[in-house]
Every structure is written in structure tokens, then in C-alpha cells.
Amino acid sequence: MHAEDDGPLQTQATGETVMCYHLHWKRGDLDGVMALYHPEIQYSDLFQNRVMGLAQLRDYVQSSMPRDPDEALEHSDRIRMDGNTAFIQYRITLRGGEGLVSFRASEAITVKDGLIWRVNEYASLVHEKPTDKNAGIRPAVSRLGLSPRQLSFMANDLQQYFQRQQPYLDPQLDLQRVARECGYSRNQMSYLLNQVLGQSFYRYVNQARLQHLLNALDSAMPAVRIDELAFAAGFNSLSAFYSCFRQHTGLSPKAYVKQISLRARAQDNA
């Protein structure tokens, strides 16, 4: 670092460049972001153990940019400046899990000649659920090509796909099909579920089936058997259904239905 880089004028110039860069990111202005990279840019994504130059950055930036105004990204501190370097901290909350699943991330950005010359991006999972003991060996993140921001998009895509298409109603649903129809590889989807959201694929699917069944119970005719609703919701095994039901509600299906009936009678008599 040169001596003149430490002065207030350098800090101000760094702030202007980084703020412009930050606003282009926030607006999803791909060309604006790319125009701010120095020809000798080195972008280090340490979560993926990956270093990129200018030639590799366009696809990376495009896949990481916000898709909508309510993106689940929260800046946890103001942008701090020190000479020709700026520091940004933020949290990325992933949709699609049970409870809070998020990454804490930070970027150290170095400016040279009024352009972004170095970016070191760090990220760590700050709330990870217990993983399925039967889950496979964790694949290398660097091979999967997933930054924390891309994992957030992926979790949201998965959630939207289940809500809109209801693929869980098919008892033959498998991970390969879900990954393909969401636009990801099987390994990427497996990593999201097992290592980030802390659920096996079948647990995730059965929870969606169970929620569908519980919603159907509210409007089901008294003559409809709960076993029939289970098969209609996509369960292909009564034992799996009973296990999932008790784990989620703390009751057997019979006890749960009885509880609903008693509650309905109490409301009628009120």
C-alpha cells in the first residue's frame, strides 16, 4: 500500500467507488457492477475456496444478484473505510428451512485507480440444524459452485416449487426430478437439504405431504378415513406416515382426529 493511500482523500474516493458498486449490486445492474471491476480484479470467494478474474466474474455476479426487492439479505453494519479498503458485513437468511437458517458474511474490498481491484468474501453458516445421520458424505462446496447468496435463491426456488407445483403428491417423487425441475444439479440440491437446511430429502418431502394432509383434514367429510388422505397426499407407506405424523404433532392420527372433533363440538356448543 502506498503512503498516499492512507489519507482522507483516498478514504473518500474509496467510499465513493464502493458505494456506487454497492448500489449497482442492490439494483441488479450487472453492467454497472462489471464496469467497476479493475482489469486485474481478483475476487476470492472463500466459502467456495474459489478465486476468479474478470473473465469468470460476469456469470458469477449474474447468478448472485438480487432477484426481487424483498431479498432476504440484511446489512448488519455500515460500510467501513480505511484508506483504499472497505469492509461490508451482512446476513443472508435462507428460505425453505424450519426456523432460522442463515449465513453471516463479510467482504473486504480494495480499490485501485478508482476501480474494484480485490474482493475477499467470507461466509459461515451461523445456525445449522442437526444433519440426518444417514446423509451422505458432504460434497466439496468448491465443486458445487454455490455461494451463500446462491444457496438462498436455491432454497427459495425449492420452496416455491413445492408450494405451486405440489410435486410431493406423486409417491414416486425423487431427488433427481426435484433438482432438475428447480434448475439445479442433484448434488447441489442434496447439499442444500442435508448440509444447510439439515433435513434429508425424504423428510423434507414427507413434511410437505403431512402439511397437505393436515390442511385437508379441516375440510374432510367425516366418512373420509385418514389413511385415504395419507395416500392422497403422496405417502406410499402407512408406517412412514404414522412416524411422520407423530413426530410432527406429538399425537397418533386417531388421537389428533378425536381432538379436532372435540374442538369442533365445543365451538358448536358455544
**What grid cell was written down for 111?**
480499490
Sign of CA dihedral 13, 14, 19, 20: positive
Question: How confident is the prediction for the chain on average, in pLDDT?
Answer: 85
pLDDT, one tens digit per residue, over 149-170 is: 889 889 989 999 999 999 999 9
* Residue-range domains of the chain with CATH: 3-199 (3.10.450.50), 203-269 (1.10.10.60)
Q: Which of 126, 101, 102, 125 has the alpha carbon at shortest distance from 199?
A: 101
pLDDT, one tens digit per residue, over 38-81 is: 999 999 999 988 999 999 999 999 999 888 766 767 887 788 99
Residue 141 has pLDDT above 60, yes or no: no
pLDDT, one tens digit per residue, over 180-223 is: 999 999 999 999 998 888 889 999 999 999 999 998 887 665 55
> 126 to each of 94, 207, 220, how far by Cα in Å?
11, 24, 41
Residue with cell 458469477: 60
| Confidence at 262, pLDDT banded by 50, 70, 90 | confident
Tell me the β-bridge partners of 73.
Answer: 92
> 89 to each of 14, 16, 70, 75, 215, how far by Cα in Å?
17, 18, 18, 6, 40
Residue 24 has pLDDT above 90, yes or no: yes
Beta-carbon contacts of 269 under 8 Å, excluding residues fewer than 6 positions away, are none
> 173 to each of 96, 170, 216, how far by Cα in Å?
18, 6, 20
